[in-house]
Structure 1
Amino acid sequence: MSDSISGEDGTLSTQPRPENDDDSVPLPLPLSLPLLLALSGSPGGLGLLPLLAASGAPSGIQKANRVKKDSLTQKYGQQAGRFRQTTGNVAAIDFGTTFCSLAYTTSIAKDDIVTLKLNQYHSRVPTAILLKQNGTNSIQNFNADDPVIRSPVYEVESFGYEAQEQHAKLRASERFKYLYFERFKMTLQQDEGVNRNMSIPSSSDTKCHLVEVIAFILQYLKKELSNHLLQSGSGVLISDFDWVITVPAIWQSRGKRMMREAAYQAGLCSSYKTIDRFIQVGHGMPKQDEDNPDKLSLALEPEAAAIYCQTMSNKAMPDHCKVDGSIQSDRYLVIDIGGGTVDITAHRHNEEQGIEVITEPIGNDCGGMKVNQEFSKLLQKIVNDEGNFAKEAFSRYLDTKESGVLATRKAILNELLNRRFELAKVTFGSKACGKDSLPAGQDDDDIAIELPYQFVQFYGVDEIESGVAALQDDRIELDDTTLYMKFSLVAELFQPAIDGILSCTASVLERLKGDIDTIYLVGGFGGCKYVFEKISTLNKANYKEHSIRIIVPKDHSLAVAQGAVKYRLEPDIICSRIMDATYGTDICPPYLPGRHDRKYFVGIDSRGIPRRRDVLLHYVDRGEVINSDEVVTAELCPLSDAAKSMKIDLYSTLDKDLEYIKDEEEKPIPSVRKIGEIEVDMPNEESLPREKRLVEMTMDFSHTEIQVRAHYTVTGMQVKATLDFLTNNATQ
């Protein structure tokens, strides 16, 4: 529970409940005032709240005030109502599960958005990083007296395709010097277990904090852009840039906060922070300081893609989905299908205000990696080395005590499953349209996957041939060390991903009753012709009367990064959103005999006002439309004259009518979860009594992240306010 206060002396006075449980006990003070001080459940705070439920809210529901951002500007100055300003120098990182890209623009170039080449040939490269010990113990900003144990110093040896290739070719005797990470972003989707201390294993099974691995990658991308700017003679410094990092729309607050804290560690928001070693797992990761937080924005991937799609031209489409007339749309879906996730959002184009989000985001984990996972299962079956709840996949192959050999074998598996099969998968995706269900004898097309020599040597050609024969499927054969698979069999590997994509798509279309005119397909896997064909088939079968167009941008894999730059330049271009949950905090408002359940009566405060416990103050409700020019406010005062800060617990629930966070027996209600903690500074340079030291807290729910600000009403100055979603005692 949050900090609590009551009464002039900061204490909560209680009295025994009457045995007859009579709710008609006379009240010490009249409750006819238009406003009452409602006791915040947080150690410190009082909120000025309406006595009765807000207009439109169910009886008993406590609703916070909602105001226009312009009103904050009038009270506290120009900066107060503006949450995401920019100088016009913007860099956006599309940090994907399998691939990443970086786009940028400058105030000089204005609307000219450039996609940075991350190697000699590619603007989009695998999210793979190889780190090498540099053999020294130096570290910038390292405090020798710091008790936290840190690893040796690491430098980025290579990134992207080069990292994959170099990692695959490392000698077993050298692997102890390296850490290799790839395809780890999906770890953040399971929001409940995400925290600062979360770790992931490298290819050599060395565990490192996930937030630091992400920070190394972000720092590398920052340096790549900095070097490019210097070489191009643009005159723009890397410190002049504001940053955007894209995240899946289905992510919750914890995953988003991890990306923000990684950005702080990487020095995206400051010129002095760097990372070159890891805090050893087992030693707690510290909370990151809020360094220039307004220099960083997070953008939802399908929303960034929506911005891109609404501004592209007909020339930006491949031939297989050309349409007549304008490709802009009034009501449309964006389906962003990357390597890890499927993200779908529905939008309406508002000519005067921008883009309205008209449904809650929906999605799942049926991205392109799902196909690779199905191939892995098939291969495990062939070599009789299947994984289950008791053992990992390819456990016989990975059963070795030699760390260098283990790392080499993992690298070989990675090469097979995520590079060789990936190339074959792309071939199928571009050529299989109409060929995946041909009758036997006409299914002549196939893909070829060459098995690595070391893999074949370990299992043996005879065992692999026997495994293929045991499948009793003439659509797959082994010729020497190469597997050949007919298109119809590969289509079966695609099917779980296709089913997941179509299920989400149908769910949104059903909710909107098919009332859209366009579907935009973006993301690496979203641009696959085979996926396009399957969604087209769904559309023709169920929504033919709506004439829904399906459009794939030619730069479908770069749409998110480029759209994210536009989002930062015009943050209010997404003019409204639908809330995905109800958010609020616990308070102790007045108790009214005859109206409130006696079991929630907690006592009488020092002002003589009866209070009830564990009431959820609703900031916003699930399904509610939040406009980009609106914020929620509450006034707070500290627990005592000496208090310098206060903490407020933030809760989330899918129940928009929930009144209490605990039941009659004071047990937590399962449908509500604590998701974070707000900490607000409470200054007192004037030595005023606490009741005059009001701080107005402002919460913005209209963008990708929940943002909090606070102003000291005595001086009008902004004070520090942080919202931490990674606290250990959060239960989300």
Structure 2
Amino acid sequence: MAVSEANSTVDATPNFTHYVSIDFGTSGCGIAMAIKGNTSDIKVFSSWEGMTNVDTKCPTVLLLDPDKKFEQFGIKAMKAMEAKSNLKQKDKADDYLFFRKFKMCLYDNPEAKEIKAMNGTSVPLIDVFVHSLKCIREYALEGLRKNFSNPGRKIQWIITVPAIWTPAAKQFMRKAAVQAGFDERSLVFALEPEAAALFCLQDVIQIKNVPEASYLVVDCGGGTIDIAAHKMIIKNKGIKDKEEIFIEELSPPDGGDYGGFAVNQQFEHMLQDIFSVSNEQFDCIKEKCSRQWFEMVWKTFEESKCNIQPGKEHESISIPIHKSIREEVRRITEKSIEDLVNAYKKNSVEWDSDEDGIVLPYSTIYNLYNPILVQITSLINTVLSKPSCSSITMVLLVGGFAESSLLYDEVRDGILCVHNSADKPIEVKRSTLPIFSVVKGAVIFGQYKEIIRSRVMKKSVGVEACVEFCEDEHDKKYLKESGGEKYCEKAFFPLVKANDSVYTGMPAKYLFRPLTDEQQVCTISLYESLNRDVKYTDEGGCTLMGKIDIDIPKCTSDLSREIQLIIDFVKTEYDVSACSVSNDETKKLVVKHTFHNQQKHLPS
């Protein structure tokens, strides 16, 4: 059942003629596009320069020249670094700035303003995003010209973001996209697991004769695992031109940094163990041999690990170790890597004298995967164990990391071992070409945003307010007296509470009055907490989420006018607005808001 067929009564946005999605991933980027009203023939961009495999994404890597100007992006950036690494250009190559995994900065260190290239040089983080998005946008426009005779200018751009990203991370991404040339008015964000779910409605889920179905989508990316629990509701099922599909969220989005790159990091931890060096010494090796290290870990090992198949315990992979790495290890340890490997008694690692590298048997690769797979399976089982998710009967694995058969088999068995039963069987499926599920689904989301009817809040969100002091309710340390009245400062006025469902068309509202007749700007502080019952904004676990500035027109009458703050929490980006209510008239006000990241997101 196609979404476009089912939701025939919900028309796609009329102002756009073409829909273009960008899956801006940690490890790779994808582009897909379609004309308005068409979700069955979505074109995936495959004309990445320098790449021959059409069933893959462009590596998310960026190369800047020594003056910090754009040089190359994607596979061309990798090949350019390889070309500059020959003996004649070695010194010059060291001055070039190579970036990878930079999307993870918005998860690992939300307050980061700068990022270091492989050679240790720092540049503004937003510059790296802007350069990358600008290049991807040009590729997308090229794809439009090739696939459609008259693409026009009415393009809806959809950029995918992790469901576990904070509002501040999304705001950063929007700022970077606008600076990269995207029209802010035609740009929307789609949550990655939601986008994948929309694609899977057509690609995987076979709906039986039931009015609803519940499922879990697990987006296994390079950097993070993103989980969304949904209930799909079908209205007027079987009635032509009236059948509609809606999706409700069953649980707040969850996830963590357990993506495919985590296996590479396990490999690096093993190498440090083999070399028997300190963290400082290991970082020195990686920095001095940055290009060769990238080639070894993030290219050779990355490609080799994906070829390991369950049940083929006799197989192994060989990872060559570049001469410069071997020499640096000898300089630090005064031992050859061959001697260090031969002395290493763990994981059955052997030295390959023919390739000047190490041989990793199946058991060693499995041991590198295992801690990550255990974390992923544990997280999925935790979500499935929630009472709100008791109706789930299907788990969908999507994303590039889901293409790993080792991951699929282990996660499937780990889920079925805990949750599968005769009275409530759970089916674990993997989308066909899971690497493109997100980017294709984002095209569908762009055309049918109304399909997401409700979300579940992960945190309580409220306004810092000054309310009437109540002796029986408030702590005296928050007491403030003014004009003979007693007030409670730093009171948390909840707009929504953690684990509450919020619905389309039912935004949260906060009504207040200006303090003075002359007040022209009102600043409201938003706070958030994982706790449901928050009383004060300075209590443990309550952090500043952002600030909202509302322009207030000069008042010539009295202070009876009221200002209403309105926040729609259902949309991918919180929609913040305000209006002035006076003498039965409502006037929209100018609102500026800035979200803050106080701490790294912690999965529940």
Question: TM-score band, normalised by the shorter chain?
Answer: 0.7 to 0.9
- Gapped runs of 5+ residues in structure 2? 1-10, 236-244
Q: Looking at secondary structure, tell me which structure has more strand per residue.
A: 2
Matched, 1:676 2:549: no
Q: Calculate the TM-score normalised by the size of structure 1.
A: 0.71
Structure 1 residue 109: deviation in Å? 5.2
1:728 and 1:397 mapped to 2: Cα distance? 30
SS at match of 1:360: strand
Q: Structure 2 residue aligned with 1:189, among 107, 125, 133?
A: 107
Shift of 1:177: 5.8
Q: What residue is the counterpart of 1:365 in the other structure?
A: 257
Q: Deviations over 1:395-417 (max 9, x none)?
A: 2464xxxxxxx4xx211101100
Instruction: For 2:79 and 2:335, locate their aligned partners in 1 and report how far apart those are by CA, in whole Å.
Output: 29
Name the structure 1 match of 2:342.
469
410-419 or 240-249, larger mean C-alpha shift? 240-249
Helix, strand or coil: the match of 2:441?
Answer: helix
Q: Deviation digits for residues 214-237 of structure 1, max 9, x if unmatched?
A: 111111111112233345563224
Contact 2:326 2:336 in 1 (8 A): no
Q: Secondary structure at the match of 1:194?
A: coil
Aligned: 1:350 with 2:233: yes
Amino acid at match of 1:698: I
Aligned to 1:705: 573
Q: How far is 1:633 from its partner?
A: 1.9
SS of residue in 1 equivalent to 2:255: strand
Label 1:347 to 1:444 Cα distance change in 2 as closer, same or farther (>3 A): same
**Structure 2: how far apart are the matches of 1:343 and 1:587?**
34
**Separation of aligned partners in 2, 1:245 and 1:475:** 44
**Does residue 539 of structure 2 align to residue 647 of structure 1?**
no
* Cα gap change, 1:727 to 1:355, in 2 (>3 Å): closer
With over 3 angstroms needed to count, the CA separation of the structure-2 counterparts of 1:176 and 1:638, relative to structure 1, is farther
Q: Does 1:616 align with 2:507?
A: no
| Uncovered stretches (5+) of structure 1, i.e. residues with no partner | 1-81, 134-151, 270-291, 315-322, 399-405, 436-442, 662-667
Matches within 5 A, 1:234-633: 234-237=149-152, 239-269=153-183, 292=184, 294-312=185-203, 330-352=213-235, 354-387=246-279, 391=280, 393-396=282-285, 398=287, 406=288, 409-428=289-308, 431=309, 433-435=310-312, 443-459=313-329, 463-473=336-346, 475-480=348-353, 481-512=356-387, 515-545=391-421, 546-592=424-470, 596-605=474-483, 609-633=485-509
Q: Name the amino acid aligned to 2:291.
A: A
Answer yes or no: is the 8 Å Cα contact 2:351–2:357 preserved in 1: yes
Query: 2:209 and 2:258 mapped to 1: Cα distance?
Result: 31
Contact 1:589–1:615, Cα closer than 8 Å, also in 2:
yes
Provide the residue aligned with 2:242 in structure 1: none
The alpha carbon displacement at 1:85 in A equals 8.2
Separation (CA, whole Å) in 1 of partners of 2:601 and 2:417 = 43
What is the distance in 2 between the residues matched to 1:562 and 1:731? 27
Q: Is the 8 A contact 2:192 2:219 kept in 1?
A: yes
CA RMSD of aligned residues (A): 3.1
8 Å CA contact retained: 1:710, 1:721: yes
Count how many residue pairs are aligned between Structure 1 and Structure 2: 564
The question of 1:221 aligning with 2:124 is answered no
**1:261-300 residue CA offsets vs partner (Å, 9 max, x unmatched):** 211221212xxxxxxxxxxxxxxxxxxxxxx4x4222222
1:582–1:653 CA contact under 8 A, matched in 2: yes
Asked whether the 8 Å contact 1:310–1:329 carries over to 2, the reply is no
Do 1:342 and 1:365's aligned partners in 2 also have CA atoms closer than 8 Å? yes
The corresponding residue for 2:120 is 205
Instruction: Name the larger-Rg structure.
Output: 1
Distance 2:378 2:486 in 1: 51
3-state SS in 2 of match to 1:234 = coil
Secondary structure in 2 aligned to 1:359?
Answer: strand
- Structure having the higher helix fraction is 2
Alpha carbons of 1:176 and 1:413: their partners in 2 closer, same or farther (altered >3 Å)?
closer
2 CA distance for matches of 1:614 and 1:483? 60
Aligned equivalents of 2:442, 2:377: Cα separation in 1: 26
Looking at structure 1, the residues matched to 76 and 397 of structure 2 have their Cα atoms a distance apart, in angstroms, of 29
1:717-732 residue pairs with structure 2 within 5 A?
717-726=587-596
Which of 480, 495, 511 is the aligned partner of 1:635? 511
- For 1:566 and 1:304, the matched residues in 2 are separated by 8
- Is residue 166–residue 601 contact of structure 2 (8 Å, CA) maintained in 1? no
Q: What SS does structure 1 have at the residue aligned with 2:230?
A: strand
Matches for 1:13-28 after TM superposition, within 5 Å: none
Contact map agreement 1:168 1:412 (CA 8 A) in 2: no
* 1:659 aligned partner, one-letter code: K
Using structure 2 for the length normalisation, give the TM-score: 0.86
